[in-house]
A and B are shown apart, each in its own frame.
Chain A
């Protein structure tokens, strides 16, 4: 599969899916007017990847600094997909949040509660 690269906009995050290296990045803010439209091709790409037979471990890195409630709904679906993949192969999820950003920390905890198969790591960072 070819690398999927989407540049960040004011209301949508940067997406970088490097399928050959099994690495998936979400970075930035997400509050588009129509979240479903933005995320549809992204979810489809992950679905296609999950169907490709491979036992390589994959890493999903989330460096989201803000997202609205309709993006949260899509992220929930995304985590379900990723977690299902974890039944077949090793899946790492990194959830990065600023140490003072308790909203992003709480979201990370919320999502990790439902993860059964993948490794979910909460990682805080500071300004310096």
Chain B
């Protein structure tokens, strides 16, 4: 990248009040490392413990979702170990709190299934989310979900505002999927 473009990238992040940005392959190890950094950063800013925990929780669910569902991967996706997925994660300040945003490419054919999972949390208040969460815990993971259909519910419960989801079709094969949470 030439230096002007590189500066532009930094400027864009700064203008959007992003304190942390990671773009690249994510693994469980990278998640742990970034998670620790975020916790330290929030502690240094004297964020209340309860809020730091919620940011961390949403971050973990968001990133584990990328690890599990991203289309853009290296290695055999059936291999449980060494699953490496590509995504972008930002943490920033927002007039209403702290934002956690996660994006990744998914296959166009998976969009419908993803929308269905989102509809479960959309428009629900905290009590409804709590009941749904319990129901999902009892029922166990849905078919083909690799174990974390609860993730969106967890994020929705911890966020201070409704989660924002978006799908941008970027080619015949891929859609950029993005979740934004404000805590």
Contact = CB atoms under 8 A, between A and B. Distances in A.
Interface of A: 10-11, 31-36, 66, 68-70, 72-73, 76, 98, 100-104, 106, 110
Contacts of A72: 137, 150, 154
B162 interface: no
Nearest to A77: B137
Contact of A98 (B49, B138, B147, B151): B49
B100 to A, nearest CB: 14
A34 B130 CA distance: 23
Given A31-B60, A76-B138, A110-B134, A103 B150 contact: no
A100 B48 contact: yes
A34 B61 CA distance: 13
**Most central of A31, A72, A100, A102 by chain B CB within 10 Å:** A31
A103 B50 contact: yes
B73 interface: no
A68 B61 CA distance: 7
B50 A73 contact: no
B153 interface: yes
A72 B147 CA distance: 12
B98 interface: no
Interface stretch (B51-59, B163-171, B172-180): B51-59
Interface residues of B, number: 30
Given A66-B56, A69-B148, A69-B151, A102 B50 contact: yes
A11 B150 contact: no
24 contacts: A11-B28, A33-B28, A33-B83, A34-B147, A36-B147, A68-B57, A68-B64, A68-B154, A69-B151, A69-B153, A69-B154, A70-B150, A72-B137, A73-B140, A73-B141, A73-B150, A98-B49, A100-B48, A101-B49, A101-B53, A103-B50, A103-B158, A104-B53, A106-B130
Contacts of B140: 73
A69 B62 CA distance: 11
Nearest to B136: A73
Given A33-B64, A69-B154, A76-B138, A110 B130 contact: yes
B53 A103 contact: yes
Contacts of B57: 66, 68, 103
Nearest to B148: A70
A31 B153 CA distance: 16
B32 to A, nearest CB: 5
Interface in B118-136: 130, 133-134
